[in-house]
């Protein structure tokens, strides 16, 4: 057979990858039916189910499989197992979201497959993402010259910020052992990972003491910086948390900013969880977040505070030139855009080249809903957490500090008891019941149960369920 004949013969087989309109519509109908059913059944379904043996699922077939079978495997192998992050009963860790409008944005991003890495290839996609980044910058009080990148999440955002600072200070390997990084024991572990990945493991990390509400003790920070300078070290990078994972605590940003500026230290704010509460200007939380605009860089996650599905974080950097210098490759002509009204290439501001067009989900959700419902939902989460803080004491639990944002820690205390074992039993009881999911933590050797309110599907009903189930768990413990 000639090559030409072979090509003609194989073409219909290769073309199976482009289903006809009828098949596309059929698939879409089935998937959409599945998605609607999933959403409609969320309130009746548990927030957590213990994982079963998964060996029977997801063996990868080389042959085409019928739609029914594919969806059935998703249903029983994936969705009927473990934590359901889409559930309003998810009150553990930092809850996720999954706005439907955002999901449709992802659908279109995938179908059109726009190239959101370089302006030249995908000017519309890049322009949209850049406008979203500018919108984030304005919300955080950053100047128009600031820019950033839409990342896969907060971990990569923290890494990009750290690498940018390292390059801004032109640190070379010989300099690293004399550099000092400052954060509290409550800093997110992604920062420790970033330090290692960025080649800074040999720098000095100072764990700054905290005040009793788990915020950074600024006086201790100042003393430590002075001591380090005196000893010939170079204070390099301060990380403040704007909403720690354990307790939602916000470090004193204004005071840290002033110290950082006085000592020429890069000031990074990890606001992956808490940053979006800044838009609630009438809520006390926005006072706590004042000073975020004085940072050199910050991480803020739309897949947390804007309720979008996983895979959308962002890093904002005040000195865009530094971000560019740390991440561009060979496209030195783009430097002109520092002054010229050009558009940044996402590929010059992050380690990624080809990337998911992740801005579209945010754009679609913002345009479809407008911003007001987002603000209402954020406000509601803060109020729900404060409500819980009072109610959980009423049913007999001891609480930690008054919540800065939407995370509350609490536990049942009984003298002479192993508090960890006691509280773990209560949580196990609640999780077994399944209406809500809770997670626990260990702070300074002490066991705490957490409540983290951030799912857009968490309303008063879910918080009341949580209180009821905790009360029931407590009663059950007391009996046994
Ligand atoms: C969630 C979180 C991170 C990590 O973000 P990912 O999006 O999970 O990578 C970092 N810092 C804080 C404070 C967080 O809450």
**pLDDT tens digits, 353-405:** 999 999 999 999 999 999 999 999 999 999 999 999 999 999 999 999 999 99
Band the pLDDT of 339: cuts 50, 70, 90.
Answer: very low
Cα(303) to ligand 1 centroid in Å equals: 10
Which mutation among 153, 154, 185 tests ligand 1's pocket best, with the greatest number of atoms within 8 A of CB? 154
- Give distance in angstroms: CA of 126 to centre of ligand 1: 25
Nearest residue (CA) to ligand 1, atom 12: 272
Measure 331 CA to ligand 1 centroid, in angstroms: 31
The ligand 1 site (C-beta within 6 Å) comprises 94, 153-155, 188, 190, 241, 243, 245, 270, 272-273, 301, 313
pLDDT of residue 337: 46
Q: What is the pLDDT of residue 333?
A: 58
Give me the pLDDT at residue 335, please.
55
Instruction: Label residues 316-348 b or e (16+ Cβ within 10 Å = b).
Output: bbbbbebbbebbbeeeeebeebeeeeebbbbbb
pLDDT of residue 79: 80
Ligand 1: nearest atom to the Cα of 153? 7
Among 155, 183, 302, which is best to mutate for testing ligand 1, by the most ligand atoms less than 8 A from CB?
155
- The ligand 1 atom at the shortest distance from the C-alpha of residue 271 is 13
Q: Using an 8 Å Cβ cutoff, are 317 and 344 in contact?
A: no
Tell which atom from ligand 1 comes closest to the C-alpha of 303. Answer: 7
Largest CA distance in the chain: 87
DSSP 274: T
Tokens 């910086």 -> residue? 225
Predicted pLDDT of residue 332: 61
* Length of the chain as a residue count: 480
Using most ligand atoms within 8 A of CB, pick from 301, 313, 350, 452 the residue to mutate for ligand 1: 301
Q: Would you report the helix, strand and coil content of the chain in percent, each value rounded to 5?
A: 50, 15, 35
Centre of ligand 1 to C-alpha 286, Å, is 20
Mean residue pLDDT of the chain comes to 95
Counting ligand 1 atoms within 8 A of each CB, the residue from 243, 268, 273 with the most, and so the one to mutate, is 273
Distance (Å, whole) CA 29 – CA 452: 35
* pLDDT at residue 274 greater than cutoff 90: yes
Mean pLDDT of 253-282: 98
Per-residue pLDDT tens digits for 145-162: 999 999 999 999 999 999
pLDDT of 331 higher than 80? no
Question: Whose C-alpha lies nearest to ligand 1, atom 3?
Answer: 154
Q: 38 CA to middle of ligand 1, Å?
A: 27
Above pLDDT 90, what percent of the chain? 90
How many C-beta neighbours within 10 Å does residue 50 have? 10
**Per-residue pLDDT tens digits for 114-127:** 999 998 889 999 99
d(CA 315, CA 349): 10
**How far, in Å, from the CA of 237 to the mean position of ligand 1?**
18
Task: Please compute the mean of the pLDDT values over residues 222-237 and round it to a whole number.
Answer: 98
Provide the pairing of β-strand 82-83 with 48-49: antiparallel
58 or 128: which carries more pLDDT confidence?
Answer: 128
187 CA closest ligand 1 atom index: 13
Token pair in block for residue 236:
């390099």
Q: How far is the CA of 337 from the centre of ligand 1 (A)?
A: 31
User: Measured from the CA of 245, which atom of ligand 1 is nearest?
Assistant: 15
Distance 244 CA to ligand 1 centre (A): 9
The residue whose CA has the least distance to atom 15 of ligand 1 is 273
Ligand 1, atom 5, residue with closest C-alpha: 154
Instruction: Name the band, by pLDDT with cuts 50, 70 and 90, for residue 78.
Output: confident
Average pLDDT of span 420-428: 97
Q: What percent of the chain has pLDDT over 70?
A: 98
At 116, list the tokens. Answer: 């959101």
| Averaged pLDDT, 223-247 | 98
Taking residues 81-103, what's their average pLDDT? 94
Long-range contacts of 382-390 (CB under 8 A, 24+ apart): 382/277, 382/280, 382/283, 382/285, 382/406, 382/453, 384/453, 384/458, 384/459, 384/460, 384/463, 385/248, 385/451, 385/453, 387/460, 387/463, 388/451, 388/453, 388/463, 388/466, 388/467
Element (H, E) at 297: strand 297-300
């Amino acid at each position: 057979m000639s090559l030409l004949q072979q090509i003609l013969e194989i073409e219909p087989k290769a073309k199976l990858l482009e289903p006809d309109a009828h098949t596309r519509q059929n698939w879409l109908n089935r998937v959409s039916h599945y998605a609607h059913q999933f959403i409609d059944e969320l309130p009746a379904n548990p927030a957590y189910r213990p994982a079963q043996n998964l060996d029977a699922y997801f063996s990868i077939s080389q042959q085409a499989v019928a739609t029914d079978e594919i969806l059935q495997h998703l249903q029983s192998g994936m969705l009927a197992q473990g934590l359901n992050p889409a559930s309003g009963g998810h009150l553990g860790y930092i809850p996720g979201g999954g706005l439907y409008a955002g999901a449709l944005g992802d659908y279109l991003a995938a179908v059109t497959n726009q190239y959101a890495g370089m302006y030249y290839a995908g000017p519309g996609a890049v322009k949209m993402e850049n406008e979203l980044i500018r919108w984030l910058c304005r919300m955080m009080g950053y100047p128009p010259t600031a820019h950033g990148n839409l990342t896969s999440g907060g971990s990569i955002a923290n890494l990009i910020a750290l690498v940018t600072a390292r390059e801004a200070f032109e640190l070379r390997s010989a300099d690293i052992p004399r550099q000092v990084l400052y954060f509290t024991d409550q800093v997110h572990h992604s920062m420790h990972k970033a330090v290692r990945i960025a080649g800074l493991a040999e720098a000095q990390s100072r764990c700054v003491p905290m005040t009793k509400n788990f915020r950074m003790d600024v006086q201790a920070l100042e003393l430590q910086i002075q001591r380090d300078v005196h000893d010939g070290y170079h204070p390099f990078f301060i990380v403040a948390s704007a909403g720690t994972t354990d307790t939602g605590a916000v470090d004193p940003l204004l005071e840290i900013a002033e110290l950082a500026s006085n000592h020429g230290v890069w000031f990074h704010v990890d606001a992956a969880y808490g940053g979006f509460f800044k838009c609630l200007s009438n809520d006390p939380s926005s006072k706590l977040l004042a000073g975020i605009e004085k940072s050199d860089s910050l991480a803020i996650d739309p897949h947390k505070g804007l309720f979008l599905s996983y895979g959308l974080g962002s890093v904002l950097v005040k000195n865009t030139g530094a971000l560019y210098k740390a991440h561009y490759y060979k496209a030195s002509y783009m430097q002109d855009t520092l002054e010229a009204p050009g558009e940044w290439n996402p590929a010059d501001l992050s380690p990624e080249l080809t990337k998911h067009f992740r801005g579209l989900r945010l754009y679609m959700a913002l345009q479809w809903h407008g911003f007001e419902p987002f603000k209402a939902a954020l406000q509601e989460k803060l109020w729900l957490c404060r409500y819980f803080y009072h109610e959980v004491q009423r049913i007999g639990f001891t609480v930690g500090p008054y919540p800065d944002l939407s995370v509350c820690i609490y536990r049942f205390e009984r003298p002479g008891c192993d508090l960890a074992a006691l509280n773990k039993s209560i949580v196990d009881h609640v999780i077994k019941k399944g209406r809500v999911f809770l997670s626990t933590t260990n702070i300074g050797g002490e066991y705490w149960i957490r409540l983290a309110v951030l799912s857009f599907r968490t309303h008063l009903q879910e918080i009341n369920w949580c209180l009821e189930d905790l009360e029931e768990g407590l009663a059950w413990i007391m009996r046994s």
